[in-house]
Structure 1
């Protein structure tokens, strides 16, 4: 079992070429993955194999996809105020499936708090209401994108108040109350919003974590938060030996920023 998880941020639009636009990169990378003879499998399937609930053959010669933050750019086609029309990530997946006949699926790790998203829309996007959650049920129903948790409010530095007193980095989430506010509260909200579907995966904001989350809260409070696994940002494939509570992912732009870089990355995994 050696499965690379390729991660993209739909908010990353600072130009219209591969290195400056994750929409351009995703569209090209999907076809590159297909040309290399690799399949795209749901991230939940990778976790099933890791935990022994599915055979390893399920993820043989496969990659998985994840998207972080969960803005409208994951789902909608949007006319960017600076860089013009952008095909949403969901549309890019549909285009790929229609063109190749191959399965396409990704997991969107979303910031759950409506209040936090409303603020982040102003501080991190264009302030046009592009961080709503009205598309999440449609995404789940179509089966193209799985909606999972990227925490309650990302503990983002631009928020006036986070779920706890200390803001700016997820490394400071090191007590039961803070962890519960960020992780279980997000799972509870998603479970109610997307019922009967249940949230089971988590991605650390910026990949930031600490010993309390990895060795205490996540493994010892599983009956409360109900998660099956969590993902970080270590650049490595998911293997049988990977830490269930800090699974690795490759981040577009950070771990490769050109088509040849992705090919080298995938070749190195084998």
Structure 2
């Protein structure tokens, strides 16, 4: 078992070429994946194989795709104020499926708090109300983009207040006690379950890719019956293997761990031996 999980951010648009635009990168990377004869599976399938619920052979010669934060660009085609028309991630995935006959799917780990997203829309994007959640239910129902948990408010540095009790913001390593972990992880899962029913949140991605011993060794494993998450994902550049810790599942991040189509192809070829 050696499955790379590739991660994108649909808000990463600083131009219209591969290294400045994750939409351009995703479309090109899908072509690379197809040319190499690799399948696209969901991260849920990868977790199922890791936990022994399905044979590991079910994810052989496969990659999984995720994206973080849950902005409108995950789902909608948009007119960017500086860089013009942008095909949303969902449209890129549908185009690939139609062109190749191979189903492409992705999991979006979303920031859940509506109030936090309203602020982040202004502080981190263009302030055009591009971080709403009214597309999440439709996405969950269609299945091209699954919706999962990226915390309540990301403990984001640009928010006036977060649920971290001491206001140590801009990192997830300070979520190191039961109250703060419940407020970030369990509350987000509760909201998703209530608003996307009958879909249920079972997967969590650490904001900033950061974790700590309390979350990995105490909170996530020992309180799973309460927060209901089955696995957690980092931003470490490794494939998922048979001995991977379910609370430290690695992911490669576009723009950080590969920057060109050639670098991605080399990464994927290495994993195939």
TM-score under structure 1 length normalisation = 0.99
Residues 199-247 of structure 1 deviation map (CA, whole Å, 9 limit, x = unaligned): 0000001101111101100011101100000000110000111110010
Match of 2:97 in 1: 97
Residue 14 of structure 1, CA deviation: 0.4
Distance 1:83 1:62 in 2: 33
What's the offset of the Cα at 1:103? 1.0
Report the equivalent of 1:139. Answer: 139
What is the alpha-carbon distance in structure 2 between the residues aligned to residue 55 and residue 127 of structure 1? 46
Q: Distance in 1 between matches of 2:95 and 2:256?
A: 26
* Deviations 1:2-39 (CA, angstroms, capped at 9, x unpaired): 00000000000001000000000000000110000000
State the Cα deviation string for residues 125-169 of structure 1 (Å, max 9, x = none): 100000000000110111111100000000000000001232111
Secondary structure of the corresponding residue to residue 6 of structure 1: strand
The secondary structure found in structure 2 opposite 1:108 is strand
- In structure 2, the partner of 1:109 is 109
Question: Structure 1 unaligned runs (5+)?
Answer: none
Partner of residue 195, structure 2: 193
The number of residues matched between the two structures is: 270
Matched with 1:212 is 214
5 Å matches for 1:7-22? 7-22=7-22
Kindly report which structure 2 residues correspond to 1:1-270, keeping only aligned pairs within 5 A, or say none: 1-164=1-164, 165-270=167-272
TM-score by structure 2 length? Answer: 0.98
Distance 2:171 2:252 in 1: 20
1-structure distance, mates of 2:206, 2:253? 13
Q: Which runs of 4+ in 1 moved over 6 A?
A: none
Q: Distance in 2 between matches of 1:168 and 1:236?
A: 24
Q: State the Cα distance separating 1:123 from its structure 2 match.
A: 0.3
Computed over aligned residues only, the root mean square deviation of the Cα atoms, in angstroms, reads 0.6
3-state DSSP of counterpart to 2:241: coil
Shift of 1:267: 1.2
SS of 1:57's partner is helix
Give me the whole-angstrom Cα distance separating, in 1, the residues matched to 2:6 and 2:161: 31
